[in-house]
Structure 1
């Protein structure tokens, strides 16, 4: 009788040890899958927990993930189609010059309009000390309006710089 109990106990002990050894191995096999924001949404198991947290990724637990292979385009068909279309879509050089001239004229008009608006904003801003308005008895309202004016001036300056860059590309 003792030998049967001993054998059973030994068998249970061996099973328990085997289970304890298998748990870390199974945990290593089951990697944590993260869903990271962006376009396209990224599902990955290659990030560490810190990297996932920094990127704003969320863990997926118990959700099955299906990977669908995309269709590969047939070789040769897209390159020959693109080569045929490029000749058909060519624009006459005179027409292209006219388009470029129109674009330059539009950009110059936009630049002049933005510069005029910037001059008006700077005049009203009065070097950070604009006139107080009647509804600004509360000093914080005045400070908020001055900050908004400064932000508008900075935005206009940025817009003007962008327009000048675009004009430089056309020159």
Structure 2
């Protein structure tokens, strides 16, 4: 009960009165409390929301059956979409395939270098890795990088297979 009264009180404060007060130098201050006789009550309309207006009259079910389907009527905008001829599309696909194959070769070289550096799970220790924990961190990082590169290679192979 007290919660409801508090909420109603907060709602009424949100709809409270607003005053504009002017000082002797002409500066205006907006406040919810009347500070002096120079304050004037503002007449502000409450916040009103309006439902969206309908642009067309509703169509009766019998009339709706006689209308062509939306896809046939061109509502999707596919008719206005620019078309690419077959030759141009094949050229684009070949360019895309070439780019992906270049990326694949690069990733495969990177994968081979990472496998060599990892040395079958036992990479050589570096001079700054006297602490075994540092060595373990580097090995874990190498394994993560190797796994990520393997995923990249697999994704590139899938992408190349999906090209028409």
**Of 80, 102, 112, which aligns to 1:119?**
112
Match of 2:90? 97
**Of 158, 162, 170, which aligns to 2:163?**
170
CA deviations on 1:83-137 (whole Å, 9 max, x unpaired) are 4313xx0002111100000000000000000000000000000011001000001
CA deviations on 1:136-169 (whole Å, 9 max, x unpaired) are 0111000000000000000000000100010010
Match of 2:121? 128
Greater helix proportion: 1
Deviation at 1:81, TM superposition (A): 6.8
Which runs of structure 1 show a deviation greater than 6 angstroms over 4 or more consecutive aligned residues?
Answer: 67-76
Match of 2:139? 146
Q: Tell me the TM-score normalized by structure 1.
A: 0.53
Give 3-state SS (helix, strand or coil) of 2:77's partner. helix
Instruction: Kindly report the root-mean-square deviation, in angstroms, between the aligned alpha carbons of the 2 structures.
Output: 3.1
- Classify 1:93/1:149 alpha carbon distance in 2 versus 1 (closer, same or farther; 3 Å): same
Q: Tell me the TM-score normalized by structure 2.
A: 0.55
Residue 82 (structure 1) aligned with residue 103 (structure 2):
no
Number of equivalences? 104
Q: Could you list the runs of 5+ residues in structure 1 that have no partner in the other structure?
A: 1-18, 20-66
